[in-house]
Amino acid sequence: MSMSDSKQLQRRFLELYEPIHAQFHRYCEVMVKNPEMAKDLQGDVILAAYESFNTLRNPASFKYFLFGIARNTFRKNLKRNKVHAKYEMNNNEPQAHDGASIETNVDVGLLYDKLDMLNPKQKEALILFEISGFSLKEIKEIQGGSLSGVKLRLKRGRQKLKELFSDSNMELRDSN
């Protein structure tokens, strides 16, 4: 590959990546619950996506291509580090965000804990829809399956979160 081809490939990659950077960052941060680990995941995924960018046939599918690599990388890392995964996940409290109130940081931490109690597909669908701002159709492209399946995962995930938060509130009242 010549230098001009390489520059052109970089430019095309960045043109597709930059508009979705914020969504991608939020997705990674919520999946791993730690800003530093999110940066590591982002870096790994961007490198993998760039290295296989030539295999992408339709530039309109770039978002799904990138998020699919992110999901697979996240799952692969969990499996590879199975021995360390319990330690990592249990000691991987969300980091306080500068400028956020203590109450906000506590609420975010509680949300992350409750999201971890969901079925993985429900958790991912909720993160993609509610936090990263994806449309139902986009989530269908990333997760596969049908549009009604995505709607059902979102509905069930929201119901389960509501139950989990209700249970937490009841436990707090009972302990007082």
Q: How far apart are CA 166 and CA 140, in angstroms?
A: 29
Burial 123-150 (b: 16+ CB within 10 A, else e): bbbbbbbbbbebeeebbbbbbeeeeeeb
106-147: pLDDT as tens digits: 677 788 888 888 988 999 999 899 888 889 998 998 888 999
Structural domain total, the chain: 2
Do 64 and 11 lie in one domain? The reply is yes
Q: How far apart are CA 133 and CA 150, in angstroms?
A: 14
Do 30 and 87 lie in one domain? The reply is yes
Instruction: Report pLDDT for 100.
Output: 57
57-110: pLDDT as tens digits: 999 999 999 999 999 998 887 777 654 444 444 444 444 455 556 666 667 778
Among 61, 76, 95, residue at a domain's last position? 95
Give the count of beta carbons closer than 10 Å to the beta carbon of residue 175: 6
By residue range, what is the domain housing residue 130?
102-176
Pick from 39, 30, 35, 63: nearest CA to 49: 63
CATH number for the domain that contains residue 74: 1.10.1740.10
